[in-house]
């Protein structure tokens, strides 16, 4: 999907660094409409418990929403569309996204996943913000490292090889083209520059065979924290994703569709001003 990153409408996206969950009720529901149709967005704190109140609220609002005409309704699924299983399994495996797919199938309503591709998000971040590409790669590396450290399902060698290969591929794709050990040295020096000496990454063979402070890695890459350039990059990736998802809603609305969606609460809050500005423009 083509996006105009210079459109000021996307400047109204709320950054995760400005978002405070406690400022918004849960679930967070917004209903926006005009004579052309309606956009209903439900923001949740994710749960895979089939008895959670999320599913009562979603189903109730969904049944009411499709009374406007199933043929004009599109349901938006966060992350990806899983294959249909039982209602219980869909929730236990995939949470609200699985439940929405199940509901859409049961009531014969069209559903799509509006998520942008990784390349689209990357290009948006590079073009919209003036981050150094190596710093962008550092944030991605920390995400991968954190996942690998938390994952006990797969062996360390496979996790390390996966990180090495992906970082090299991403670096090549954005025009850096360095060896992985060169990246590691840059990452180490950058973090020591920000936080003071203390980070020693070694080489690729030592990557996961050393003691890591998982809480420290979490905080460094956390997009909700407003502390360093690395946190800002994480927030930018989230804003880029929100821009594409909001644009997908706008395009569908312009095609005459009523839109029903359930996403994490922060995404609904961060996109709300974009959707309101779009409807405001429609009135002009």
Question: What tens digit of pLDDT does each residue of 180-225 get?
Answer: 989 999 999 999 999 987 888 877 777 777 778 889 999 999 999 9
Q: Report percent pLDDT > 70 for the chain.
A: 97
Residue that the structure tokens 């995760």 belong to: 16
Structure tokens at 129: 């913000």
| Alpha-carbon separation of residue 259 from 32, 144, 146 (angstroms) | 10, 33, 35
Helices (H), the chain: 53-65, 87-106, 118-128, 133-150, 156-173, 180-195, 214-221, 229-254, 265-283
Q: How many residues does the chain have?
A: 284
Contact 260, 40 (CB under 8 A): yes
Per domain, the residue ranges of the chain are 8-116+241-283, 118-236
Q: What pLDDT does 202 receive? A: 76
Does the structure show a pLDDT above 90 at 36?
no
Is residue 125 a contact partner of residue 136, using CB atoms and an 8 Å limit? Answer: yes
Checking if the pLDDT of 100 tops 90, the result is: yes
Cα 266 versus chain centre, distance: 10
- Token look-up 């299983």 returns 85
> Where is pLDDT greater, at 282 or 176?
176
| Per-residue pLDDT reduced to its tens digit, 112-165 | 999 999 999 999 999 999 999 999 999 999 999 888 888 765 555 677 888 899
Contacts of 128 (CB under 8 A, 6+ apart): 5, 10, 236, 240
Regarding pTM above 0.85, the answer is: yes
Exposure on the CB side of residue 256, measured as CA atoms within 13 A? 4
∠ CA 12-13-18, nearest 5°, is 105
Q: How far apart are CA 150 and CA 212, in angstroms?
A: 11
pLDDT above 90 coverage of the chain, percent: 80
By the 8 A CB rule, do 222 and 37 touch? no
């Amino acid at each position: 999907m083509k996006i105009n990153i210079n459109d000021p409408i996307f400047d109204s996206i709320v950054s995760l660094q400005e978002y405070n969950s406690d400022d918004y009720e849960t679930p967070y529901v917004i209903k926006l409409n005009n004579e052309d149709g309606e956009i209903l967005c439900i923001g949740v704190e994710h749960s895979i418990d089939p008895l959670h109140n999320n599913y009562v609220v979603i189903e109730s609002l969904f049944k009411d929403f499709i009374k406007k005409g199933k043929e004009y309704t599109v349901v938006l699924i966060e992350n990806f569309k899983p294959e249909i299983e039982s209602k219980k399994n869909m929730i236990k495996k995939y949470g609200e996204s699985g439940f929405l797919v199940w509901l859409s199938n049961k009531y014969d309503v069209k559903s799509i996943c509006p998520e942008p591709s990784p390349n689209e998000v990357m290009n948006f971040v590079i073009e919209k913000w003036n981050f150094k590409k190596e710093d962008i790669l550092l944030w991605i590396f920390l995400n991968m490292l954190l996942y690998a450290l938390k994952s006990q399902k797969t062996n360390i060698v496979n996790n390390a090889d996966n990180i090495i290969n992906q970082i090299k591929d991403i670096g090549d794709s954005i025009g850096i083209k360095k060896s992985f050990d060169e990246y590691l040295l840059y990452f180490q020096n950058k973090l020591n520059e920000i936080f003071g000496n203390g980070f020693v990454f070694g080489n690729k063979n030592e990557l996961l065979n050393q003691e890591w402070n998982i809480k420290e890695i979490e905080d460094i890459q956390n997009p909700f924290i407003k502390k360093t350039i690395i946190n800002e990059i994480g927030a930018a990736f989230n804003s880029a994703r929100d821009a594409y998802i909001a644009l997908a809603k706008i395009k569908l609305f312009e095609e005459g569709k009523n839109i029903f969606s359930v996403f994490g609460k922060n995404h609904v809050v961060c996109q709300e001003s974009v959707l309101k500005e779009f409807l405001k423009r429609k009135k002009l």
